[in-house]
Homo-oligomer: A and B are copies of this chain.
């Protein structure tokens, strides 16, 4: 069978690089464009050094026509703002698009403007986009033209709340403390990822003010969770890969730890998707999911009656490129091939 062609736009960043890695030997998809204006002509392995000798691909700077004519799917890995500008014309031309940026995640353009600090260039497309949380929206993603792949923090926090939300058990404002690895800040060197001051610290940022907040709220409410808001404390951790989230939330109905485990296990089994592991004998941690598409989570009910869920994912795989490739398989109707993709590769221990 001929492979389906894919364009990865903004392919020099970490998100784009992970898409290239995941697809570089894929049996079903072929990346034909890895776009970059500044690096066009350079081998992708000059930037993504792990692909040295493994990918003959070069960065290129194709026109809209070339993309529209040459590919079956577009994966956008551009910064927000630039993403909507670049992807909108492709959507207009009928391309099927998966966007890793935050540009199409929120349905409300005012909320977008409030959190992303600029006006959305194409608010008309917001209603068209399907939020690419594969455990929640697999059915819609299959038929979507435009998928907004979730944020890394959002992925971990959504998955912590969805089963209880779906049962209508949530109330109040969840308290979330979540830590991120430094690769989440992208490939560009900046103050917050300067090794001397990043390597031996834990440092909060955007406290109670992170832009993933509204996308979590929207998703949890979509799933049935009656929550008032999210109080989210993001923290920079001195690891490269990983999101580690602790979520505490008031319950509106009776639930104990045993019941929570059953609820979470049955919810994720019912999705039919293989990535979420509900742990009961050890704790979720970053090392066991790093560099994989897997999710580890463990729910508990405290003496205070609150539900506590601890969740770990890899920020660049399940939190970005891996989840996008899940959507790609769904959109292509190739779910059944998923086990042959790179998404089920184990991580390493240690």
Q: Interface residues, chain A, CB within 8 Å of chain B?
A: 14, 17-18, 21, 24, 48-54, 172-173, 175, 177, 179, 181-183, 185, 187-191, 193-205, 207-208, 228-229, 231, 233, 235, 237-242, 244, 246, 248, 274, 277, 282-288, 290-292, 294, 296, 300, 302-304, 306, 308, 310, 312, 344-350
> Contact at B17–A349, with CB atoms within 8 Å?
yes
Protomer copies: 4
Please measure, in the bound complex, the distance between the C-alpha atom of A288 and the C-alpha atom of B241, giving whole angstroms: 15
> Contact at B310–A233, with CB atoms within 8 Å?
yes
Which residues of B sit under 8 angstroms from A284, Cβ to Cβ? 204
> Contact at B193–A189, with CB atoms within 8 Å?
yes
> Contact at B196–A183, with CB atoms within 8 Å?
yes
Distance in Å: Cβ of A144 to nearest Cβ of chain B: 28
Please measure, in the bound complex, the distance between the C-alpha atom of A136 and the C-alpha atom of B31, giving whole angstroms: 36
Which residues of B sit under 8 angstroms from A53, Cβ to Cβ? 274, 277, 294
Among B241, B246, B345, contact of A177 (Cβ-Cβ < 8 Å): B246
Distance in Å: Cβ of A37 to nearest Cβ of chain B: 19
Which residues of B sit under 8 angstroms from A346, Cβ to Cβ? 21, 24, 50-51, 54
> Contact at B195–A198, with CB atoms within 8 Å?
yes
Which residues of B sit under 8 angstroms from A181, Cβ to Cβ? 196
A196 and B173 in contact (CB under 8 A), knowing A229-B304, A285-B203, A310-B233? no
Residue of A195, A204, A304 with most chain B CB atoms under a 10 A cut-off = A195
A207 and B54 in contact (CB under 8 A), knowing A195-B182, A201-B242? no
15 contacts between A and B (CB under 8 A): A14-B196, A48-B349, A49-B349, A50-B288, A173-B306, A175-B248, A201-B288, A203-B285, A228-B304, A229-B303, A229-B304, A231-B304, A231-B308, A233-B310, A237-B238
